[in-house]
Structure 1
């Protein structure tokens, strides 16, 4: 283990930089040299990196007087790398981090609690971690020399702003933009999907092709991040809801059977020891107005606990007035509720 003390860019908070692997790092928010037995591992969304999710600083401050520390994980797909990433690689890296944390803390404290928390697309990572086979299936193109990673159990899991990338893009297409009408947006989108399906890989089907930045930039993605045809098709999932892609976990039109294959597999996999906390933002800018948020999370709860188990945390809720990342100027009360829910949930985890 290689550990370095430094100060985080997030609010100047002190902590320790951990090298999980030579290329995977995580920042542990600490108060000086204080060590604590329990760990919350935080994973951001598309484009996020160290300190980019503002409300994390609120959680760190709230956990200061407790026995929990926060590890901010920087995945290989963080910042601008999300467009070339995939959930399978993400959960391998989360598994390495969980193992590292336990190896790092157990000699001093014994077995502490470990909870994983995802914001936005980080929620897809969390769900994928606890619901897919263990080890995960190999990718036919990128995992030819891959060594399977067996994911360790986690005591708890939190999903904040678990939104549908597909429905977000469809809303942009339906509304159009200042530059493009809905009709033009639909034409651009349809062509991008057709091209991505025809030319997903190149060089003997071993290398990703990339959707032109001029296309992804016009349908809502930042022009600074290249997006592979493979990840683009996973995010927009053009054959959903009948045949959803890997990233399409949270769309409101998915069938009960699909939810049984995702949320309903959590108990089967045995990777979540206690409960899942879901915090949906009541005023999420990424969610179309036709989505009934309360009804949607009720469907998730029903699918998860269909066999009589109780993996759904009673702390779960739609936070009134909360924006996607709770970063707007009017988010003081939603952030207070979020912190209250997270800390209450973590207290329950300690009680078992």
Structure 2
């Protein structure tokens, strides 16, 4: 899910230079979002929130490394520890995608965990020509890198918005490296389909996407009006917008059996669902409390965290998000047995 209202989430590590570099010029694809910089680090405690350093916020000190063969496959890591929280953003997301990542990185370092923010082929405007399957493959490459190059002792996956679908899909894949996942956190697992259904023209575009797929043109691009933010294939549009499309995992109109079919395998992994009770991308007709209850039940009893008045990205409740995430990491991330020992 895109927090903007649109027609829609290995080489040796290299330390980021303390001088200005191309990395400091990476910017969010959304207007008004901060520039990512690796020049400084915040020094306040997570409980108090990050203090501006030199009058500037949203700055993290860490390492940028390459985890796969594609040029986009880089990740930014804060903290130098053998257990990592991997953040997977939603549509149009990239580095520093949510306001809580900066205070979260500080809180994790205090508990000797690293925060890893990967770029995937689907990051920024790449989501329209990618898929959950591709994201899953690249996530597995990242975890493999952390295991083999960083001696990782296990990871916790943290998904925001459409990144939650990535986690669910990855854990279903039973990839070898998925055994390194100690726990999964789904923050804002909401329905792209239900949100996009509120936008004009969606029904006609779904029909067009279905027709293109039936004609063997699923990887062809849809008309620009389908998604003004990014080029999007017929397959990905159908996946996001159609009933029971591949991305359709959290819709309120799915039956309990359908939810269990899509989410039931998550019962094998400690899970937390962090749901914003004022999420602007959940239509008004949806009973949020009933939905989050059903999602947690379908996942075999996942931990439920309801954040009152929280918006989709929890930019207005960042500290509550950090507390909930850290409580889960400290509780479920411990006492983990190495699956390869």
Which TM-score bucket, shorter chain as reference? 0.7 to 0.9
Partners of 1:295 and 1:257 in 2: how far apart?
16
Runs of 4+ in structure 1 deviating by more than 4 angstroms, as ranges, are: none
Alignment pair present for 1:116 and 2:121: no
Q: CA deviation at 1:101?
A: 1.0
Give the structure 2 partner of residue 4 of structure 1. Answer: 14
Judged with a 3 Å threshold, the aligned counterparts in structure 2 of structure 1 residues 90 and 252 are, in CA distance, closer, same or farther, namely same
Give the structure 2 partner of residue 155 of structure 1. Answer: 182
Give the structure 2 partner of residue 138 of structure 1. Answer: none
Tell me the secondary structure at the aligned position of residue 63 of structure 2: strand
Alignment pair present for 1:277 and 2:304: no
Alignment counterpart, residue 14 of structure 1, candidates 61, 66, 85: 61
Runs (5+) with no aligned partner, structure 1 = 136-148, 173-184
Tell me the secondary structure at the aligned position of residue 193 of structure 1: helix
Judge conservation of contact 1:105–1:112 (CA < 8 Å) in 2. Answer: no
Question: How big is each residue's C-alpha offset from its partner over 1:35-78, in whole Å with a ceiling of 9 and x where there is no partner?
Answer: 21210011110001112322211211222322101000101110
Alignment counterpart, residue 190 of structure 1, candidates 190, 203, 221: 203
CA RMSD, aligned part only? 2.0
Q: Map 1:45-124 to 2 at 5 A.
A: 45-106=90-151, 112-124=153-165
Query: Number of aligned pairs?
Result: 286
> What's the TM-score, normalizing by structure 1?
0.76
Judged with a 3 Å threshold, the aligned counterparts in structure 2 of structure 1 residues 191 and 262 are, in CA distance, closer, same or farther, namely closer
Alignment pair present for 1:208 and 2:219: yes
Judge conservation of contact 1:99–1:152 (CA < 8 Å) in 2. Answer: no
Tell me the secondary structure at the aligned position of residue 21 of structure 1: coil
Partners of 2:179 and 2:126 in 1: how far apart?
25
Tell me the secondary structure at the aligned position of residue 298 of structure 1: helix
Alignment pair present for 1:319 and 2:307: yes
Partners of 2:59 and 2:320 in 1: how far apart?
24
Question: How big is each residue's C-alpha offset from its partner over 1:150-189, in whole Å with a ceiling of 9 and x where there is no partner?
Answer: 74441011111111001101223xxxxxxxxxxxx3xx33
Which is strand-richer, 1 or 2?
A: 1
Give the structure 1 partner of residue 52 of structure 2. Answer: none
Partners of 1:133 and 1:49 in 2: how far apart?
24
Judged with a 3 Å threshold, the aligned counterparts in structure 2 of structure 1 residues 169 and 206 are, in CA distance, closer, same or farther, namely closer
Q: Map 1:171-250 to 2 at 5 A.
A: 171-172=198-199, 185=200, 188-200=201-213, 205=216, 208-213=219-224, 215-216=225-226, 221=227, 223-237=228-242, 240=243, 244-250=244-250
> What's the TM-score, normalizing by structure 2?
0.78
Tell me the secondary structure at the aligned position of residue 332 of structure 2: helix
